[in-house]
Chains A and B, each alone.
Chain A
């Protein structure tokens, strides 16, 4: 009973782990330009392969968590990530059986779209002040780290969710 409850929360736990790693383990200033969005990769994966475990309220909560921890405007990540997850759910079905390279292209597009949404919102609300290397560096870093993070998620998915 408890084990099945824990297993049901595994995607959420991997997303919280991603927030922790993203905000804590790669905190050096030198890496801020190339800081990957591990949460986005996690959302992309779980929304494609286990949409029942990656619900809209969970995505919204994860977005609020990122906003609170990063000290940015409350609602920025909650909005962009929820919107992305809706789009992934709507157009991502074809990607489920696609090759890994195509998934990587999907992740890059999602990361670029998120950067664009956030930049647009911040421009409208606060006036543009984002640094272009930071805005464009993040999707690139996300793309580079995606194979590794995806492998970890596939492993967790198969060994814990499917076997469990």
Chain B
């Protein structure tokens, strides 16, 4: 009798769990983020991420330590040669930074002349990848920076690898106090508005859970070639314009592909080797990094990790005329 009761209790529990899982599966994608259910789902995900973050960091520590020891040993062998190379690079970049500053000032003056709306400025934050969930159905990274560090949903994530330089990695889709989930480009749900840098042809790059990305909606006859660099177009307002995404690898135009080309794109970022990401934290033009950096960097650790391209943003900051002449906003820009 007791066994039967236990069995029926188990069956009831299992049915309930399966029903809840099915409801989550079917309703989850359709729940609006601002609804009560959507908020509940976000809170659940935040709790899980917050709870698991320290555990993953614990796993990461010995791996990172062994990596750094290996890298240090390797680095000793080439340290002198690298030092010389870096000094030359620094010389080149210092002259380039002066040029950038000049161009930014010129850009600001031209924007003023045209009466253009100032572009939003962004601060950058470097975060370490502490979780990688590439499976048959999803491709995402968990990074060790969250709401406390100023990361919000839709923040752009750039990859940092020594081999391939920088490029678009994806965007933040979920944040918790100290962690954030980054949807990477190869994920099936990833869609990025792009343009071909050389010919300015617009398209959408989407993930297929494969190493190569797919470029969609490029009509047959468009001016594209293998090797062309594909950058973000800025359409949609999530990704800033001009971030490298990848290079066109193959172009197919058969009857089966209909009106459009079938194009595969090799991502700029090597997703096998990326260990750190740069997160672009969106700030409004009034909220220029120079004004609030000290306030936002609440801890020395955060302050050290966060850096801003202040020189550029100082030049890019709106004037009182552009922001509607608000007094007392803390913006002081010399008009040139």
A contacts, CB < 8 Å to B: 16, 19-21, 23-25, 27-30, 32, 35, 55-57, 59-60, 63-65, 68-76, 78-79, 82-83, 85-86, 89, 115, 118-119, 121-122, 125-126, 129-131, 134-135, 138
Bound together, the chains give a CA A28 to CA B130 distance in angstroms of 12
Is there contact, CB below 8 Å, between B22 and A60? no
Closest CB of chain A to B151's CB: distance in Å? 16
Q: How far is B140's CA from A97's CA once the two chains are assembled, in angstroms?
A: 40
B244 lies within 8 A of chain A by Cβ: no
Q: Fill in one digit per residue for B34-54: 1 if any A CB lies within 8 Å of its CB, else 0.
A: 000000010011001100100
| C-alpha gap A65/B48 in the complex (Å) | 7
Partner of A73, one of B29, B132, B209: B29
B25 within 8 Å of A (CB atoms): yes
Known contacts being A75-B24, A125-B25, is A69 close to B52, with CB within 8 Å? yes
Q: Which residues of chain B are within 8 angstroms of A65 by Cβ–Cβ distance? A: 48, 52
Nearest chain A CB to B67's CB is how many angstroms away? 12
Contact of B59 among A20, A30, A89 (CB under 8 A): A20
CB contacts (< 8 Å) of A59 on chain B: these are: 17
Interchain CA distance A126-B131 in the complex, whole Å:
25
The 4 closest A-B pairs by CB, nearest first: A75-B24, A71-B140, A27-B132, A79-B21
Please state if A29 and B272 are interface contacts (CB–CB under 8 Å).
yes
A56 and B132 within 8 A (CB): no
What residues of B have a CB within 8 angstroms of the CB of A119 in the complex?
A: 136
Which residue numbers of B lie inside 8 Å of A, CB to CB?
10, 13-14, 17-18, 20-26, 28-29, 41, 44-45, 48-49, 52, 55-56, 59-60, 63, 130-140, 142, 173-174, 181, 183, 187-188, 208-211, 271-272
User: Which of these, A16, A24, A72, contacts B132 with CB under 8 Å?
Assistant: A24
Given contacts A20-B59, A82-B17, contact A135 B136 (CB under 8 A): yes
A134 touches B135 (CB 8 A): yes
> Which residues of A are found within 8 Å of B187, using beta-carbon distances?
71
Write out the residue numbers on chain B whose beta carbons fall within 8 Å of the beta carbon of A75: 20-25, 28
Report the tally of A-B residue pairs with Cβ distances under 8 A: 141
CB distance from B65 to the nearest CB of A (A): 14
A24–B130 Cα distance when bound, in Å, is 7
- 9 intermolecular pairs with C-beta atoms under 8 Å apart: A24-B60, A71-B173, A72-B138, A73-B28, A75-B23, A75-B24, A78-B21, A118-B136, A121-B25
Contact B45 A68 (CB under 8 A): yes
Q: Contact check, B137 vs A130: say whether CB atoms are below 8 A apart.
A: yes
Pairwise interchain contact B59-A21, C-beta atoms closer than 8 A: yes
Question: A68 touching B18 by the CB < 8 A rule?
Answer: no
What is the bound-complex CA distance between A27 and B63, given in angstroms?
A: 11
Distance from A98 Cβ to chain B, minimum over Cβ atoms (Å): 22
**Beyond A71-B173, A129-B208: 11 further Cβ-contacts under 8 Å?**
A24-B59, A27-B134, A29-B272, A57-B17, A60-B17, A69-B52, A70-B133, A75-B21, A86-B18, A115-B136, A134-B209
Q: Is the CB of B22 within 8 A of A79?
A: yes
Q: Are B135 and A70 in contact (CB under 8 A)?
A: yes
The answer to whether B18 and A76 touch across the interface, beta carbons within 8 angstroms, is: no
Question: How far is B173's CA from A76's CA once the two chains are assembled, in angstroms?
Answer: 18
Q: Quick one: closest B residue to A130, CB to CB?
A: B136
User: Which residues on B sit within 8 Å (CB–CB) of A29?
Assistant: 134, 211, 271-272
Q: Which residues of A contact B211 (CB under 8 A)?
A: 29
Query: Closest CB of chain A to B44's CB: distance in Å?
Result: 8
